[in-house]
Amino acid sequence: MRRRSRALSGALAALIVLAGAGRARAQGGPFVEAMAELSPVQIGGYQSTWRVGRIGAGVQRDGRFGWNAGVERHQRGGLVDWAGQAGGFQRLGNWTWSGSAGYADAPGFLYHRSLEGQLSRRVIGGLVVGGGYRHLEFPATTVRIVEPSASFYFARGEIGAQGFLVRNDGSARRSSVALLRSAVDLSRHVSVTGGAAIGARIFDVDTFGRGAHDAWQAFGSLRVRAGARLSMELMAGGAHEDPLFTQQTIATRVRWSF
């Protein structure tokens, strides 16, 4: 694959999965966590394995505020990138703001810098609407993503929709993706999440050649709380982008709260 295609591939796909994981990860107090992800990938006749590892820590308080920071190791074939990330959120009455930043030094395929801000408001009952903007600087280009969203919260979970309106400055291309997601608490100790996205250029790997690059992505997770401090999560998903890209993913996360 050319360097430029490696740099862009998977950036939006990772954001989509993160957008679906919020409620399942909510937990009070300080915490530390570790995550490992394995993704077999096929692009035509080329096969590879993408791996991600993360260690992090943070604090969350009753959904009122929180922050987190972590270090991630990304490997695609023989290429390895390291990135640092930090973020936080705060609820102020009916309003909630959140933000995050990331940095990778001399990346081969990850972003070099990432900045995101989001603002949402409860409109009536359990209905929350919001919007966000994410700025991703790669060695060869800059990607800008506008993210409108709407969610409805009920006693045991939520259902939501989110859009991703993407502009690639280097190629002057525009694309869009729609995500539908849900999270449900089955009991005090077990919760599930799931979601699916459709659109164009979710992975944006230019070695696919010309065409519409229609794509889909689906994912789900099962989270179990083993007592007051330990929680474990198992995630799985799959994706395809026309004409030649296919990915399967399995991941696990362990969190210890204090």
Quickly list DSSP for 33-49.
Answer: EEEEEEEEEEETTEEEE
Kind and range of the H or E run holding 137: strand 127-137
**What is the reported pLDDT for 171?**
77
Domain over 3-257 is classified CATH 2.40.160.40: yes
Q: What is the pLDDT of residues 23-37, one digit of tens each?
A: 544 557 899 999 999
- What is the chain's Cα-based Rg? 18
Evaluate if residue 49 carries a pLDDT over 90.
yes
pLDDT of 163 higher than 80: yes
**CA–CA separation, 246 and 40 (whole Å):** 8
Q: Residue 221: helix, strand or coil by DSSP?
A: strand
CA distance 9 to 206: 9
Which residues make Cβ contacts (< 8 Å) with residue 127, sequence separation at least 6?
A: 150, 151, 152
CA angle, 62 as apex, 56 and 64 as ends, to 5°? 90
Model pTM? 0.86
